[in-house]
Amino acid sequence: MELTCVECPMGCKITVEEKGGNKEFFGYSCPRGKLYAENEVVDPKRVVTSTVKTASGEVIPVKTDKPVSKKDMYKVMQVINSITCTLPVKTGDIIKENVYGANIISAKTVK
């Protein structure tokens, strides 16, 4: 398996080989690259970005404050789609706490 590391602008091409049940990683140039590849193979995670309805009918951009497991992304979106928030909000305000290990936060200040 080949991956392109996204931890920094270098974009190292990392090769993952399985030998005897163990995974070996080649091509990374720093510890962050190896950790990225290990996580990508074992439990890939992503930041979820979307929008949330407000009580006034507008929508505001939101995101998770940290990556969530890709296997939980659909469930996170179900929660996000069920949320209605009240304005005003500031960038970084928590809209919903502890959704599959992450908080849903406002990605924009809206008055």
What strands, in cross-sheet order, belong to the sheet with 59-64? Answer: 84-85, 49-54, 59-64, 102-106, 94-99
Predicted pLDDT of residue 21: 86
Domain that holds residue 99: 46-106
What is the per-residue pLDDT across 7-18, written as a single tens digit (0 to 9) for each?
A: 999 999 999 999
Does residue 50 share a domain with residue 21?
Answer: no
Question: What is the separation, in whole angstroms, between the first and last Cα of the chain?
Answer: 47
Does residue 98 share a domain with residue 54?
Answer: yes
What is the per-residue pLDDT across 77-106, written as a single tens digit (0 to 9) for each?
A: 999 999 999 999 999 999 999 999 999 999
d(CA 36, CA 104): 23
Does residue 93 share a domain with residue 51?
Answer: yes
Question: 111 in a domain, yes or no?
Answer: no
Q: Taking a C-beta distance cutoff of 8 angstroms, is the pair 12, 28 a contact? A: yes
Does residue 11 share a domain with residue 51?
Answer: no
Whole-model pTM above 0.95?
A: no
What is the per-residue pLDDT across 10-60, written as a single tens digit (0 to 9) for each?
A: 999 999 999 888 999 999 999 999 999 999 999 999 999 999 999 999 999
Question: 82 in a domain, yes or no?
Answer: yes
Predicted pLDDT of residue 87: 96
